[in-house]
Amino acid sequence: MQRITRRDLGKTAAIAGALAVGAPARAGQVSKRPFGKTGLEVGVLGIGTSPLGREGVTQKDVNNVIAAAADYGVNYLDTAPIYAQSERRLGPALQGRRDNFVLVTKVEATSKQDATWQVKESLQKTRAEYFDLVHVHNVGRTDRFPSLDVLLGEEGALAGLEDLKKQGLVRHVGMTCHLRPKRALPILRSGRVEAVMAAVNCIDRHIYNFEETVFQEAAERGIGIVAMKILGGTQGDGAILSADPHYGRAVRYALGIPGLSVAIMGMKSVAELEKAVETVQAYKPLEGRELSEALDDGKKRAAALGEHRGPVV
């Protein structure tokens, strides 16, 4: 597979930039991008709802964030059963607004039966009639998915999601990956997933490098691409905060990834959402010296952190 160079990334950033700042649905909203071949359009900014499920966050907080997201055209909501109370809190917040959002959850089961049960339980929690997308969660984990043959088999989780798709309970099937990027490639090449989400930022570019492996393959196949961990959050230290001077640079890096549909950010307040929206609306491609400096800074941090999400291979 041909490698993407810094020059390539700079060129494609300009193309992505044109998409990112294209005419929004209405004034004040974030712009939209096609979500692969799904037929969906997603705002370039999405919400990672894990923080909305944590202690100290109220149902009113969640309601306010979701209402503001609808106003800004931020329509991609990423949740999961393991995100504490996230799914349950999204249920009331989405009442009367469900059609405004692309609602996404995940399964962590290997078998068809268990994956089916997990999705149906998540539907009950969120009070939703269907999910727009369900990911097989973190396929790089060999403890969770010890055999890709089983995962891809007739009694595997993917088959379970495909059956739910036939029933109208799931609209699209995807996967996420935090580590071991090459483990995602056989699943992409199976033709059975329509979206992929991975951890990408200027630090992880030098460790896991999903940009030049998984995302490049996905872009070539017309698969929807979702960026997570874009602020550099790790297992052991905090992500870049909104007051950090590198916050905007981190967002610009993610939005310039070739083929990207949406970059998600975890947030638990309207103030955090508004900061993210403001940053996305001011997007300019990260290229030239700025891109080089960002990657050089990321390389230094990567050397200090090492394989902080788990093994690369």
Handedness of CA 121, 103, 89, 82 (dihedral sign): positive
Could you count the other beta carbons within 10 Å of the beta carbon of residue 60?
10
Is 304 within 8 Å of 171 (Cβ atoms)?
Answer: no
What does the CA dihedral 55, 201, 204, 53 come to, rounded to 10 degrees? 10
Classified by CATH at the fold level, domain 6-305 comes out as TIM Barrel (3.20.20)
Find the helix or strand (DSSP H, E) in which 199 lies. strand 195-199
The closest alpha carbon to 105, from 83, 140, 79, 76, belongs to 79
Ramachandran bin of 238, using left for φ above 0, alpha for ψ from -120 to 50, beta for the remaining angles:
beta
Q: How far apart are CA 159 and CA 124, in angstroms?
A: 21
pTM score over 0.85: yes
The closest alpha carbon to 72, from 24, 38, 109, 37, belongs to 24
Per-residue pLDDT of the chain (313 residues; tens, 9 = 90+): 334 444 454 444 444 444 444 445 466 899 999 999 999 999 999 999 999 999 999 999 999 999 999 999 999 999 999 999 999 999 999 999 999 999 999 999 999 999 999 999 999 999 999 999 999 999 999 999 999 999 999 999 999 999 999 999 999 999 999 999 999 999 999 999 999 999 999 999 999 999 999 999 999 999 999 999 999 865 444 455 555 778 999 999 999 999 999 999 999 999 999 999 999 999 999 999 999 999 999 999 999 999 999 999 9
Q: How far apart are CA 163 and CA 178, in angstroms?
A: 26
Secondary structure tally for the chain: helices H, strands E: 11, 10
Q: How far apart are CA 206 and CA 229, in angstroms?
A: 14
Q: What's phi and psi for 198, nearest 5 deg?
A: -145, 165
**Residue-wise over 272-291: b if at least 16 C-beta within 10 A, else e?**
bbebbbebbbebebbbeeeb
Q: How do the domains of the chain map onto residue ranges?
A: 6-305
Q: How far apart are CA 83 and CA 53, in angstroms?
A: 6
Tokens matching residue 26:
């209405």
